Amino acid sequence: MARIVGAITTSHVPAIGGAIARGLQQEPYWKPFFDGFQAVHRWLQKIRPDVVVVFYNDHGLNFFLDKMPTFAVGAADDYRYADEGWGIPAMFPAFPGQVQLSWHLIESLVRDEFDVTTCQEMLVDHAFAVPMALLWPAAATWPVKTVPIAINTVQHPLPSAARCFKLGQAVGRAIDTFPEDLKVVVVGSGGLSHQLEGPRAGFINKEFDLMCMEKLVGDPVALTRYSNVQLVDLAGSQGVEILMWLAARGALTGDVSSVHSNYHIPISNTASGLMVMENHSVLARGRLDAVLEASDGRPGHR
């Protein structure tokens, strides 16, 4: 059976893609942000996942206001990046899809009464491409296959925090029943607190962000009690992207531990959050320890 080995949550600010394109990773402004990913790279090298399921929000590239699905799942052979207006060059190789897992997720989600949009052709924007580039920098070809799951955070009404958490739970159950032996990492792309427009442009709520990062590990259900209006008030109009983090956390089906976290402000007027959480189900725990011991002779973080 497939198994979820962990989740990664990360910001996806378009300016990050521009910094990567211009080679600014070691510039003083950017270095604290990019250095936060070194531990993530080491973890991925140990785990060596086969598939990444990315919860992200489309910014008007693949979907626009006239046709905006609440939840959309990619079921394509590959996904190509296109710039939706930020000026990030087309520097990302095509992202290979895991079509069999995509269809398994779609069928399972529909059985669980999630009315998802199935996308057999799909473009992806910075919210998908930037996290992938941060996790596998300078990749000529991607070492994993991908399944994109888009969540509407643009056109009201938005799905609630509780609904997105339940979506993640349904995805986690579906992955656990996929018959192929795959190691899966789920990614939640977006946030944390930020607002790009209006009188509160540049708004950051560090206290709320750090609380969310703490609760995400040990008490994610507490975060599902916030309404979207409350999330916008506390985290800014774009801070509602925490919905993707909740979906990724919901997909973890076992005991969860924190491997790494980093919080840095500001990045392009945005609070940048990064977390790695391991998923310890009864069966996966032993398999994961074996992977880690084989890689460097010591058990993983607990």
What is the tens place of the pLDDT at every residue in 124-143?
Answer: 998 999 999 999 997 889 99
**Average pLDDT for residues 257-270, to the nearest whole number?**
90
Q: Please give the residue that has the higher pLDDT: either 2 or 236.
A: 2
φ and ψ of 54, to 5 deg? -110, 115
Q: Above 90 in pLDDT, residue 240? A: no
Sign of the Cα pseudo-torsion (250, 251, 255, 260, in order)? negative
Classify domain 3-296 at the CATH topology level.
Protocatechuate 4,5-dioxygenase; Chain B (3.40.830)
> CB-based burial of residue 39 (10 Å sphere; 0-12 exposed, 13-18 middle, 19+ buried)?
middle
Q: Which residues are catalytic?
A: 126, 194
Q: Is the pLDDT of residue 39 over 60?
A: yes
Residue 87 binned pLDDT confidence (cut-offs 50, 70, 90): low
CA dihedral over 93, 94, 95, 98, signed as positive or negative:
negative
Looking at the predicted structure, is the pLDDT value of residue 78 above 50?
Answer: yes
Share of the chain above pLDDT 90, in %: 69
Sequence ranges of the domains in the chain: 3-296
Helix (H) or strand (E) holding 187: strand 183-189
pTM for the full predicted model: 0.90
Tell which residue, 143, 130, 36, has the closest CA to residue 92. Answer: 130
pLDDT given for residue 299 in this prediction: 39
pLDDT score at 88: 72
Q: What is the pLDDT of residue 282?
A: 42
Q: Residue 286: is its pLDDT beyond 50? A: no
Q: Point out which residues pair with 279 in neighbouring strands.
A: 256
In the chain, alpha helices (H): 14-22, 31-35, 38-47, 99-111, 126-135, 161-176, 206-218, 220-223, 228-235, 242-250, 282-296
Question: What confidence score (pLDDT) does residue 86 get?
Answer: 65
Lowest mean pLDDT: which of 74-78, 170-174, 229-233?
229-233
d(CA 247, CA 225): 14
Q: Per-residue pLDDT tens for 165-198?
A: 999 999 999 999 999 999 999 999 998 988 878 8
pLDDT of residue 62: 85
Burial of 110 (0-12, 13-18, 19+ CB in 10 A): middle
CB 54 within 8 A of CB 147: yes
Q: What is the pLDDT of residues 141-157, one digit of tens each?
A: 999 999 999 999 988 89
Is the pLDDT reported for residue 227 higher than 90?
Answer: yes
pLDDT bracket for residue 298 (50, 70, 90): very low
Residue with the larger pLDDT of the pair 281 and 42: 42
